[in-house]
Amino acid sequence: MQKNWSQHLRNTIIGLAGTTFAGVYFGHPIYGLTAGLGIYLLWTLYHTYRLSQWLADPNTMNETPQSLGIWGNLFEKLHKLNQNYLQTRDRLRARIDRIQESTNAMRDGVIMTDAHGAMEWWNGSAEDLLGFRHNTDQGQYICNLIRTPAFKAYFDAKNYREPLELHSPAKPHIHLQIQISLFGKQSRLIVAKDVTRLHQLEQMRRDFVSNVSHEMRTPLTVISGYLETLVDNTDDLPAKWRRAINTMATQSFRMEALITDLILLSRIETGEKEVNDTTTNVNGLMQQICQDARTLSGENQHEITFNTSGRQQLKGDEKQLRSAFSNLVFNAVKYTPAQGQITVSWFSNSEGGHLSVKDTGAGIEQIHLPRLTERFYRADPSRHKDTGGTGLGLAIVKHVLINHDGNLEILSRVGEGSRFICHFPAKRLVSAAPE
């Protein structure tokens, strides 16, 4: 460019010098110079006009303007830049079309919103699953279109580690799993998956377990009843039958406990999601449970203490809470050697209410902690035979806490004992009136 410019300058000076010499020849050098400058000005104006015409719409004009010297160079460079720009634009457009085509082919709904939740883009499946419309919903706030309070709370909380499940606002029979990811400056990418089939299978599994448990309960009650009578009258039985009858009775009581827990778990999981939100007096409840735990401990003489830092009550279903808390305290009794200490505490802080059950038992290896609340998962299968547990206790605790918007924290170290803490959100706490 530098070279072209110096060439242009040289040519201009030569041209002006030529017209000036011609002026000298005719005895008017000033006229010659003025005529030269005038020609240069007209030439420049003409090319500026052509350039502005071409720049106004470079793609519809058939040809790029042609010229000599620096203007010719300028037109050529601009033409190349325009070609590059067109190629890049076409390439990007093709790529965007491809991405849109592939996301439209996805069965999951994909939605992009800005930092405030205004809808920027969504694919065809999102229209199908959530009922969005392209011509009217562009720029609308997603929380105005998915009006479920749970979705608004999930969207605003910005804690997207766990997905959210909800019914489709457009087709209530469709069950959706929503997962949000943050990108850019707090923009959100929302993926909605149709999990209706999975949900139906899960429902079928729950119904099956619940129905089988109910069906088995009646015959088992009859068997247990007769066995109990036989155990009460073992003196009348031949000696060779006594041991067998006692073992049968123990096993049938275990089965009864198992069925009771299965029925309770399926009831907590399904039918009673809408928990009865009466106020539960946790202090009173825990004192009763600790008393029952002392009876369970019997000769083992565990030292069971209950501490409370206030008179906060809990909004929730007392029956479910009793099952969860007693499972934790009875587990502490079962898994702590005789004369061990069990400390139960109920306290609250700015984060909510917390019920902690701490023992000085054998503790649990870290590897087992994440799976402990699974049904029938046992940290130490050799130990459970003595305790007579059903393997469902912590699964019941977990589901009761889910129903009460809470969660279970398990802290344990082998040889140092365990601590199970039920955390409840502050919205579930109710201050008790002073006595």
* Residues in touch with ligand ADP (CB under 6 A): 327, 331-332, 335, 359, 361, 364, 372, 378-380, 384, 387, 389-395, 418
Within 298-340, where are the H helices? 318-334
CA distance 252 to 316: 33
- Cβ count within 10 A of residue 187: 16
Query: Of 90 and 416, which has the nearer Cβ to ligand ADP?
Result: 416
Least gap, CB of 115 to ligand ADP (angstroms): 43
For residues 312 and 327, which CB has a smaller minimum distance to ligand ADP in the complex?
Answer: 327
CB of 293 to ligand ADP, least distance (A): 12
Closest CA to 126 of 109, 143, 101, 107: 109
Is 326:292 a contact under the CB 8 Å cutoff?
yes
- To ligand ADP, the closest distance from the beta carbon of 361 in angstroms equals 4
User: Minimal distance in Å, beta carbon 147 to ligand ADP?
Assistant: 38
For residue 345, what are its two tokens? Answer: 């505490």
Taking the complex as a whole, how short is the minimal distance between the CB of residue 392 and ligand ADP, in angstroms? 6
146 vs 324, which CB is nearer to ligand ADP?
A: 324
Residue 296: C-alpha distances to residues 5, 41, 136, 300, 329 (Å): 101, 109, 65, 9, 10
| Closest C-alpha among 323, 324, 284, 321 to residue 306 | 284
Which one, 281 or 387, has the nearer CB to ligand ADP? 387
Shortest Å, Cβ 411 to ligand ADP:
11
Nearest approach, Cβ of residue 370 and ligand ADP (Å): 12
Cα–Cα distances in angstroms (integers) from residue 339 to residues 104, 288, 300, 335, in the given order: 65, 20, 6, 12
Amino acid identity, position 359: D
Q: Quick one: DSSP state of residue 269?
A: I
Which residue from 398, 390, 344 is spatially nearest to 371, judged by alpha carbons?
A: 398
Nearer to ligand ADP by Cβ, of 317 and 359: the residue is: 359
d(Cα 117, Cα 132) in Å, to the nearest integer? 14
Q: Which is nearer to ligand ADP, 274 or 386 (CB)?
A: 386
Q: Least separation, in Å, of the C-beta of 209 and ligand ADP?
A: 16
Residue 252 or 327 having the CB closest to ligand ADP: 327
Least distance from ligand ADP to the Cβ atom of residue 395, Å: 6
Determine contact, residues 380/374, Cβ cutoff 8 Å: no
174 vs 170: CA distance, rounded Å: 9
Residue nearer to ligand ADP on the CB measure, 273 or 383: 383
Sheet with 429-431: strands ordered across: 279-280, 312-315, 429-431
Least distance to ligand ADP, CB of residue 291, Å: 19
CA distance 108 to 180: 13
- CA dist list (Å): 91 to 83, 121, 330: 12, 21, 68
Closer CB to ligand ADP, residue 180 or residue 394?
Answer: 394
Q: Which residue is nearest to ligand ADP (CB)?
A: 389
Q: Which is nearer to ligand ADP, 146 or 264 (CB)?
A: 264
